[in-house]
Chains A and B, each alone.
Chain A
């Protein structure tokens, strides 16, 4: 069955090219541009993996992940966090407990795809 990815990032150009690259790998991809829209999406959808940016307006990535992790229906959904922001020690520690992998921006798409495929292969 085709695996489903949700991209949560307010940077439209990046989200567009990531969507293209992931669809090219045979994955189903949806994109929302802030945390509030991600929570609405997750209210009715269960993706296999979420690619989550940290710095976003309205509801940032850390808060969105915190709420998502409390939702039992999202158990087993992998989260790959992305950030261009240098994280504080406190943020890094919190992030470690919330996501399955973290990639600082800028990154290469090949590297991102490799990490996503690895995470997907470990999801049920």
Chain B
């Protein structure tokens, strides 16, 4: 096309247009290449996510299948005395599977914007009291003390109550789980840059620098963790991060192995 334009005197005026079209095409090509690259990346992220979800579902499923097989094979055997115990495990493992599916759906709804955040004025002390009530059995079981320090001048935060209750439950639950027996978990709030800055800290085993980079990723598990700690869904912190982000904030981790962990995030004030 460029050759034809050079040969024709009448077409001189077309030159800038053709040149512009060529530029446009080049720009369009670059845009399309970028889009293809982004789609490949997003496909890879989806594949990896699917692979992790499959792994997490396979673990309880393997146990469930094994218990069902054992019960089917032996339940009529008079010497088989473990029926009740095996049924209890089956109940626990199916609940774990249901919890995992619920949480996976929840994180998907939150990240796809399908869950509408409905902020209202929420009394922070009320919220903390609710969290304490919800976690009381775990606090008593682990003999851990949960203490809060809220400033007198901060009456309320402008948040979605249900989501923020879950956010605090996830963070405090994690802190209790990794606390030593008779340890202390603190929730502190302060006003910073016109937002409520909240920290949840524990005196637990801490998180290494390498693990800190991945701690908010779905299904991530710290490499150095006691096998005595009950295995969770691996989604608690990922959901917490999404909830904080839905409220226009950021969440960060500070930790030292053997000393404890602090999770810091902010929420909007009214």
Contact = CB atoms under 8 A, between A and B. Distances in A.
Given A84-B55, A86-B55, A109 B224 contact: no
Interface residues of B, number: 28
A108 B225 CA distance: 29
Contacts of A104: 58
A10 B227 contact: yes
A11 B59 contact: yes
Interface stretch (B64-72, B131-139, B181-189): B64-72
Interface stretch (A14-22, A42-50, A70-78, A91-99): A14-22
A122 interface: no
Interface in B190-227: 221-225, 227
B224 A58 contact: yes
Nearest to B227: A33
A84 B61 CA distance: 10
A3 interface: no
Contact of B224 (A37, A57, A84, A110): A57
Interface string B52-89: 00111011111101110110001000000010001001
Interface in A21-72: 21, 24, 33-34, 37, 55-58
Contact of B63 (A11, A33, A58): A11
Contacts, number: 74
Contacts of B67: 13, 17
A93 to B, nearest CB: 18
A106 B97 CA distance: 14
A115 B67 CA distance: 19
Q: Which of A11, A14, A33, A108 has the most CB of B within 10 A?
A: A14
B83 to A, nearest CB: 12
Contacts of B54: 84, 86
A14 B55 contact: no
A80 B89 CA distance: 25
A13 B92 contact: yes
B245 interface: no
14 contacts: A13-B89, A18-B66, A20-B82, A21-B66, A37-B227, A55-B55, A57-B222, A57-B224, A57-B227, A58-B225, A84-B54, A107-B62, A108-B66, A110-B69
Interface of B: 51, 54-56, 58-63, 65-67, 69-70, 74, 82, 86, 89, 92-93, 221-225, 227, 231
Rank and list the top 10 A-B pairs by shortest CB-CB distance, nearest first.
A84-B58, A106-B62, A14-B63, A33-B227, A13-B63, A105-B62, A17-B66, A106-B61, A105-B58, A84-B55
